Amino acid sequence: MKHSPLRIAARIVASLPVYALLLASAAVILFPLYMTVVDSLQPVTKLLTYPPDFWPGSPQWSNYRAAFTDIPMPRYMLNSLIMASVITLGQIATSILAAYAFSFLRFPGRTIIFFIFLSTMMVPWEASIIPNFQIIQRLNWLDTYQGLTVPFLATAFGTFLLRQQFMTLPAELKDAADIDGYGNLRFLFFVVIPLSRAAVATLAVFSFLQSWNQYLWPLLITNDPHMRTVQIGIASLQDQEVQRTNVVLAGTVIALLPMLFLVVAFQRFLVRGLTAGAVKG
Amino acid sequence: MTVAAARARRRSRQLRQLVAAAPFVLPSLALFCLFVFYPLLRSIWLGFHATDPFGRREVWVGIDQYRDVLTSSDFRHSLLVTGQFALYTVIGSTGLGLYLALLVHRRLPGIILFRTVFTSTVASSVAVSSVMWLLLLNPGVGVLNYVLGQGGVPGANWLTDPKWALPAIAMTTVWMNVGLATIVILAGLQNIPEELYESARVDGAGPWSQFVHVTLPALSPTLLFVSTVGVIFAFQSFGQIDILTKGGPLDSTTVIVYSIYREAFLHYNVGLASAQAVVLFVIVLLLTLVQFVAAQRWVFYR
């Protein structure tokens, strides 16, 4: 009778102080988000009054409609979606290929090349951003999706993550595939990838989250308001649209929601990646 | 078979292997060369050149510019600011992350919900977080000063007072990073073998003694990892500064990356900015190596 309702009730009562701490901490963590949601539902005049309201008197849901009509949120969201999707798919493709070579192929220089891959993790993106900007400028890729995505299509972290997974597959699989006359691509697509779906999903969650949330690079290489990502969009609007702060806040909530969903729904993968990534900087 | 023939066969086998591996490795390798290694080398190269005030001509000045950067009071100031920022954010997010992880590291009905809440700030980008906190930090109508006022504590001009701007930005950054810290520390806690606690209890250790003698030592590599990553993050911070203070007031929040950005993209002083970027690279490289060495040395118990 380990799980009788009575036992569970007794445990909950005994844990009341812990629950109190949990609730208080959760309230503190969620407070900034809560206040943003409250203010995004206020008329703009209410945002400038003291004392601040902790509850929207009559929620003004039209702010959320205005985010789609009065400020260019749809365009920002589309740009971010395209950018993050291309980067995610690209990183998955390049990482799968490279990780396959490092796990299943023998070739001269394999170890050295693997260390070259790893060494890219020690170069902070900010340290090479000026020449990267010049490259994109010279290619005439400012204000383009290529400029937003191509520099990020390869990832040492992803390669490393997938290689770790591929190495757990038994060597006999490869032997059997060789005997059956499978080429590398067939073995990769029909055996390795189906067995590594969780690791690929982990990489996908990471890539998408990271690229959706990028700030410095899209700020540098986009000038055209039509090419702005949602991060740059809301940051510049909160500066310019003082008369519509409530609408910009609605936009901020809209920008956060997809990532919040991603993090909550794929928490398992996130934890996996972070603990595997204990080597990542 | 002669030696020469054997060698020729080996050669051709290696060549075949390279040809087979190339399509798998080259896409990543080419991208790394173009967008990581070449730009890094070019940053170093640009650091040897001075740019005239119109950003047009580049003149070779050799090591001088690096020496100037390292001795200039502006850059030393931004190093100091970044160091302070790293200190605040690392202590804040590691401490808070440890507290939250310990709080949810137990079996209770509904605990999954709290784990989700505590780790949820991972979803928030630097832009989203900054816009949210801008509201709370508003000195006139913001909630933070209101709540402090209710408690009888005088509020502050958080983002316009040189004394408070950096701590205020650090606070928003701690909030942003605490989800990540909590996830990693919780995973570390879950990896501590239960037997360690059992034998400690057999030895008569109470909860506090178990925490000091079992949890903390076993968790030290994790805490070290979280702290080093936190320092590296701090040295790469930019977005919250750009949105909340633009380096001000009185340069009190001009961290390294903001300084690089300002020199390169607002003052068009590409040479000087590149020299600063190279210094940033060396710092992050050293931090990464420290983490690597320490991680090897600190994997200790058992």
pLDDT (mean) for B147-175: 93
Given CB atoms, is B275 within the 8 Å cutoff of chain A? no
Instruction: At A220, list the tokens.
Output: 């540098």
The verdict on A43 and A168 lying in the same domain is: no
Interface contact flag, A30 B117, Cβ < 8 Å: yes
**Which residues lie below 8 Å from residue B148, measured CB to CB, with a gap of 6+?**
B154, B155
- In the predicted model, is pLDDT for residue A112 greater than 50? yes
Helix (H) or strand (E) holding B47: helix B38-47
pLDDT, position A2: 58
Cite the beta strand spans of chain B per DSSP E. 49-51, 58-60
- The residues with which B51 forms a beta bridge, in sequence order, are B58
CA distances from B133 to A34, B90, B138, B168, B298 (A): 11, 19, 8, 9, 37
Q: How big is chain B, counted in residues?
A: 302
Q: A233 lies in a domain?
A: yes
The verdict on A169 and A254 lying in the same domain is: yes
Counting one residue from chain A and one from chain B, the pairs whose CB atoms sit within 8 A come to 277
Instruction: At A172, list the tokens.
Output: 């006999």
Distance from CA of B18 to the nearest CA of A (A): 6
- In the predicted model, is pLDDT for residue A281 greater than 70? no
pLDDT (mean) for B202-230: 90
Percentage of chain A with pLDDT > 70? 96
Tokens 């931004």 sit on residue: B78
The verdict on A113 and A34 lying in the same domain is: no
Instruction: At A211, list the tokens.
Output: 């690229």
Instruction: Spell out the SS3 assignment of chain A.
Output: CCCCHHHHHHHHHHCHHHHHHHHHHHHHHHHHHHHHHHHHCCCHHHHHCCCCCCCCCCCCCHHHHHHHHCCCHHHHHHHHHHHHHHHHHHHHHHHHHHHHHHHHCCCCCHHHHHHHHHHHHHCCHHHHHHHHHHHHHHCCCCCCHHHHHHHHCCCHHHHHHHHHHHHCCCHHHHHHHHHCCCCHHHHHHHHHHHHCHHHHHHHHHHHHHHHHCCCHHHHHHCCCHHHCCHHHHHHHHHHHCHHHHHHHHHHHHHHHHHHHHHHHHCHHHHHHHHHHHHHCC
Helix (H) or strand (E) holding B205: none
* CATH number assigned to the domain covering B72-298: 1.10.3720.10
pLDDT (mean) for A156-162: 94
pLDDT, position B298: 54
* Structure confidence at residue B300 as a pLDDT band (50, 70, 90): very low
pLDDT, position B56: 65
Q: A97 lies in a domain?
A: yes
Interface contact flag, B31 A232, Cβ < 8 Å: no
A36 vs A8, higher pLDDT: A36
pLDDT, position B297: 61
- Of the candidates B221, B183, B208, B207, the one whose C-alpha atom is nearest the C-alpha of residue B104 is B183
The verdict on A42 and A96 lying in the same domain is: no
* Structure confidence at residue A279 as a pLDDT band (50, 70, 90): very low
Q: A160 lies in a domain?
A: yes
Task: Kindly identify which residue of chain A lies nearest to residue B124, measuring between CA atoms.
Answer: A256
- In the predicted model, is pLDDT for residue A22 greater than 90? yes
- In the predicted model, is pLDDT for residue A47 greater than 90? no
Helix A267-276, helix B165-190: angle, nearest 10 = 90
- Of the candidates A141, A95, A107, A155, the one whose C-alpha atom is nearest the C-alpha of residue B32 is A155
**Which residues lie below 8 Å from residue A260, measured CB to CB, with a gap of 6+?**
B120, B123
B179, A271 Cβ separation under 8 angstroms: no
Given CB atoms, is A208 within the 8 Å cutoff of chain B? no
pLDDT, position B50: 87
The verdict on A157 and A240 lying in the same domain is: yes
Q: A8 lies in a domain?
A: no
Instruction: At A195, list the tokens.
Output: 């067995």
Interface test with B, best of A8, A215, A219 (most B CBs within 10 A): A215
Q: A93 lies in a domain?
A: yes
From-to residues of CATH 1.10.3720.10 in chain B: 72-298
Instruction: At A48, list the tokens.
Output: 């400038």
* Structure confidence at residue B57 as a pLDDT band (50, 70, 90): low
Q: Which of B39, B132, B260 sits opposite A252 (nearest CB)?
A: B132
**Measured distance CA(A118)–CA(A68) in Å, rounded:** 42
Chain B CB contacts of A73 under 8 Å are: none
Interface test with B, best of A107, A117, A214, A229 (most B CBs within 10 A): A107
The verdict on A159 and A256 lying in the same domain is: yes
Average pLDDT, chain A: 91
pLDDT, position B1: 60
The verdict on A153 and A23 lying in the same domain is: no
Where is mean pLDDT largest: A47-61, A144-158, A175-189, A262-276?
A: A144-158
**Which residues lie below 8 Å from residue A139, measured CB to CB, with a gap of 6+?**
A146, A147
pLDDT (mean) for A183-207: 93
Instruction: At A93, list the tokens.
Output: 């493709």
The verdict on A153 and A263 lying in the same domain is: yes
Among the listed ranges A5-19, A180-194, B58-72, which one has the minimum average pLDDT value?
A5-19
B230, B89 Cβ separation under 8 angstroms: yes
- The residues with which B58 forms a beta bridge, in sequence order, are B51
Count other C-beta atoms under 10 Å from residue B106's C-beta: 11
pLDDT, position B62: 85
Q: Is the peptide bond before B39 cis (omega within 30 degrees of 0)?
A: no
Percentage of chain B with pLDDT > 90? 65
B24 phi, psi to nearest 5 deg: -80, -40
Among the listed ranges A152-166, A218-232, B22-36, B189-203, which one has the minimum average pLDDT value?
B189-203
pLDDT, position A56: 83
**What ipTM, to 2 d.p.?**
0.90
Which residues 69-128 of A have a C-beta within 8 angstroms of B? 93-95, 97-98, 100-102, 105-110, 113, 116-117, 120-128
Interface contact flag, A101 B229, Cβ < 8 Å: no
Q: Per-residue pLDDT tens for A74-101?
A: 999 999 999 999 999 999 999 999 999 9
Percentage of chain A with pLDDT > 90? 71
Among the listed ranges A262-276, B80-94, B147-161, which one has the minimum average pLDDT value?
A262-276
pLDDT (mean) for A131-149: 96
Output the domain CATH number for residue A232: 1.10.3720.10
* Structure confidence at residue B51 as a pLDDT band (50, 70, 90): confident
Q: Per-residue pLDDT tens for B255-284?
A: 999 999 999 999 989 999 999 999 999 999
Q: A7 lies in a domain?
A: no
- Number of structural domains chain A divides into: 2
Distance from CA of B163 to the nearest CA of A (A): 23
A73, A254 Cβ separation under 8 angstroms: yes
The verdict on A125 and A259 lying in the same domain is: yes
Write down the pTM of the prediction.
0.91
pLDDT, position B2: 80
Instruction: Spell out the SS3 assignment of B77-130.
Output: HHHHHHHHHHHHHHHHHHHHHHHHHHHHCCCCCCHHHHHHHHHHHHHCCHHHHH
**Which residues lie below 8 Å from residue A11, measured CB to CB, with a gap of 6+?**
B108, B109
The verdict on A252 and A128 lying in the same domain is: yes
**Measured distance CA(B216)–CA(B294) in Å, rounded:** 16
Q: Per-residue pLDDT tens for B127-145?
A: 999 999 998 999 888 899 9
Given CB atoms, is B65 within the 8 Å cutoff of chain A? no
Q: Per-residue pLDDT tens for B83-140?
A: 999 999 999 999 999 999 999 998 888 899 999 999 999 999 999 999 999 989 998 8
Q: A10 lies in a domain?
A: no
CA distances from B126 to B22, B233, B259 (A): 38, 12, 18
B20, A107 Cβ separation under 8 angstroms: yes
- In the predicted model, is pLDDT for residue B205 greater than 90? no
The verdict on A156 and A73 lying in the same domain is: yes
- In the predicted model, is pLDDT for residue A151 greater than 60? yes
pLDDT (mean) for B241-250: 93
Interface contact flag, B175 A231, Cβ < 8 Å: no
- CB-based burial of residue B294 (10 Å sphere; 0-12 exposed, 13-18 middle, 19+ buried)? middle
* Structural domain that includes position A29: 17-60
Name the residue type at position B187. Answer: A
Chain A CB contacts of B140 under 8 Å are: 50
* Structure confidence at residue B53 as a pLDDT band (50, 70, 90): low
Q: A9 lies in a domain?
A: no
A270 vs A220, higher pLDDT: A220
pLDDT (mean) for A10-33: 91
The verdict on A223 and A145 lying in the same domain is: yes
pLDDT, position A88: 98
- In the predicted model, is pLDDT for residue B190 greater than 80? yes
Chain A CB contacts of B24 under 8 Å are: 97-98, 100-101, 105, 184
